């Protein structure tokens, strides 16, 4: 998913030149990968109870491959739009289900570490994209980049369908899970706050790896060199996110780790346009993002096991809504200001918002633990 998601940002200069699109349209394409989630994340979570985790995840990966194939034959913006939307639908299905699969395996067994390890695959794919996709587009064409993302998606589908096994006891939970309307209101509010926080956190993350290469290029770096340097920050997260999950488990204060992560990441992005120390900033950002597992695991705190299917669907509905809007707004901001720093500073403001959302979640969870008032006989 990370490798395919980054493909539009990696080849954005070629799309601008070849198709004559604006950076606002590039931002729309980046966000379009997430836009379907605002509509189908919840149904995907509910349908998992009927069709099973492995089958639904396989359907998602298949659609990701089909969407990439459509973009291979694209020669105008509208076809790129359709292909990106198709990939986004598949990506939503896959992400919702794969999160539930990991949660089922690790719930009660260091869930933040388990989710942290899963989350490292996202920046790993993005880092690999930053290292290879721009160079591939330069040597061949941007269509070849889309072909590779399509092929990787189909290979992942084959691997998952042939290898994955559900954890013991998960079938009973899947078949007996209630619908969204049966989930208690307090759980709905809690998972909604968690979903918004996770969405905003990832908007800030996406603006870093999507727009900071352009900021570095404006300072004299080559496009390929800037992308490679930003990929260094992605590789740092491969280690920092699992370690952040481990720290959250060992300290027993996951929400504090989430808030500290947001402070560190936001501060780094705010300083990046001001000071010329690119290596230090990309490494610092990668370290700061290490609390991602703690932010994502807020959904587990909010939901009981029998409500995970539709509850995680709702969690990702908020996440995808934020991710669909954020990059498009950032791209429009760059067009208006004509400054590569604008999207980066907007990313910094997203992490400030995460701090307040984590605090709101903490307050909500503390109230949730209070006994309900007794009714008068």
Structurally, how many domains does the chain consist of? 1
Where residue 67 falls among pLDDT bands split at 50, 70, 90?
Answer: very high
* Residue 375 belongs to some domain of the structure: no
* Residue 372 belongs to some domain of the structure: no
Dihedral sign for Cα atoms in the order 256, 258, 263, 267? positive
Q: Do the Cβ atoms of 201 and 292 come closer than 8 Å?
A: yes
Coil, strand, or helix at residue 75?
Answer: coil
Cα angle for residues 131, 135, 138 (degrees, 5° grid): 160
Residue 66 has pLDDT above 90, yes or no: yes
* Residue 360 belongs to some domain of the structure: yes
Residue 215 has pLDDT above 60, yes or no: yes
In this predicted structure, what is the pLDDT of residue 60? 92
What tens digit of pLDDT does each residue of 76-128 get?
A: 888 989 999 999 999 988 988 888 888 888 877 777 778 778 888 887 888 88
* Residue 95 belongs to some domain of the structure: yes
**Which region among 22-36, 92-106, 146-160, 272-286 has the lowest average model confidence (pLDDT)?**
22-36
Task: Tell me the pTM.
Answer: 0.74
Residue 243 has pLDDT above 90, yes or no: no
Where residue 200 falls among pLDDT bands split at 50, 70, 90?
Answer: very high
In this predicted structure, what is the pLDDT of residue 47? 73
Where residue 178 falls among pLDDT bands split at 50, 70, 90?
Answer: low
CATH classification at residue 358:
1.20.1250.20
Dihedral sign for Cα atoms in the order 247, 249, 251, 255? positive
Q: Which residue range(s) make up the domain with 333?
A: 2-165+175-367
In this predicted structure, what is the pLDDT of residue 181? 59
CB proximity list for 85: less than 8 A, separation 6 or greater: 32, 35, 36, 67
* Nearest-angstrom CA–CA distance, 15 and 254: 41
Q: What CA dihedral angle connects 61, 62, 68 and 73, to 10 degrees?
A: 180
What tens digit of pLDDT does each residue of 246-261 get?
A: 888 788 788 888 888 8
- End-to-end, the C-alpha distance of the chain in Å comes to 56
Alpha carbon of 135 to those of 10, 15, 56, 144: distances in Å? 9, 14, 34, 11
Dihedral sign for Cα atoms in the order 296, 301, 302, 306? positive
**Which region among 165-169, 206-210, 331-335 has the lowest average model confidence (pLDDT)?**
165-169
Residue 69 has pLDDT above 90, yes or no: yes
The first and second tokens of residue 50, run together, are: 């009927």
* Residue 27 belongs to some domain of the structure: yes
* Residue 374 belongs to some domain of the structure: no
In this predicted structure, what is the pLDDT of residue 173? 47
The first and second tokens of residue 77, run together, are: 């913006």
**Which region among 162-171, 232-241, 358-367 has the lowest average model confidence (pLDDT)?**
162-171
In this predicted structure, what is the pLDDT of residue 371? 38
* Residue 377 belongs to some domain of the structure: no
Mean pLDDT (the chain) is 82
Q: Which of 134, 7, 135 is nearest to 67 (CA)?
A: 7
The helices-and-strands tally (H runs, E runs) of the chain is 18, 0
* Nearest-angstrom CA–CA distance, 67 and 83: 4
* Residue 91 belongs to some domain of the structure: yes
Mean pLDDT within 40-44: 77
């Amino acid at each position: 998913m990370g490798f395919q998601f980054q493909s539009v940002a990696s080849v954005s200069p070629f799309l601008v030149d070849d198709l004559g699109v604006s950076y606002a349209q590039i931002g729309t394409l980046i966000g379009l990968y997430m836009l379907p989630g605002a509509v189908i994340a919840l149904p995907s979570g509910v349908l998992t109870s009927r069709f099973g985790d492995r089958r639904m995840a396989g359907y998602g990966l298949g659609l990701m491959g089909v969407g990439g194939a459509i973009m291979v034959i694209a020669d105008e913006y509208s076809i790129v739009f359709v292909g990106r939307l198709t990939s986004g639908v598949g990506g939503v299905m896959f992400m919702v289900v794969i999160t539930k699969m990991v949660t089922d395996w690790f719930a009660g067994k260091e869930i933040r570490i388990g989710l942290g390890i899963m989350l490292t695959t996202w920046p790993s794919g993005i880092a690999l994209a930053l290292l290879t996709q721009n160079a591939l587009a330069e040597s061949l064409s941007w269509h070849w980049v889309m072909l590779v993302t399509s092929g990787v998606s189909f290979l992942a589908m084959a691997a998952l369908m042939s290898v994955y096994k559900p954890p013991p006891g998960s079938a009973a939970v899947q078949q007996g899970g209630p619908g969204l309307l049966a989930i208690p209101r307090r759980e709905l509010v809690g998972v909604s706050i968690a979903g918004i926080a996770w969405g905003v956190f990832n908007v800030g993350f996406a603006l870093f790896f999507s727009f900071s290469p352009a900021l570095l290029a404006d300072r004299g770096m080559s496009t390929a060199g800037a992308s490679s340097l930003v990929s260094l920050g992605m590789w740092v997260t491969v280690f920092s996110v699992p370690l952040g999950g481990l720290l959250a488990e060992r300290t027993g204060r996951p929400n504090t780790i989430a808030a500290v992560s947001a402070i560190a990441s936001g501060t780094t992005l705010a300083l990046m346009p001001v000071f010329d120390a690119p290596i230090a900033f990309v490494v610092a950002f990668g370290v700061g993002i290490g609390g991602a597992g703690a932010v994502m695991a807020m959904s587990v705190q909010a939901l009981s096991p029998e409500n995970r299917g539709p509850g995680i669907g709702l969690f990702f509905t908020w996440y995808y809504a934020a991710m669909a809007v954020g990059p498009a707004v950032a791209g429009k901001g760059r067009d208006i200001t004509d400054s590569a720093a604008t999207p980066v500073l907007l990313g910094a403001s997203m992490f400030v918002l995460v701090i307040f959302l984590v605090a709101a979640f903490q307050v909500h969870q503390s109230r949730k633990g209070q006994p309900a008032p007794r009714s008068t006989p």
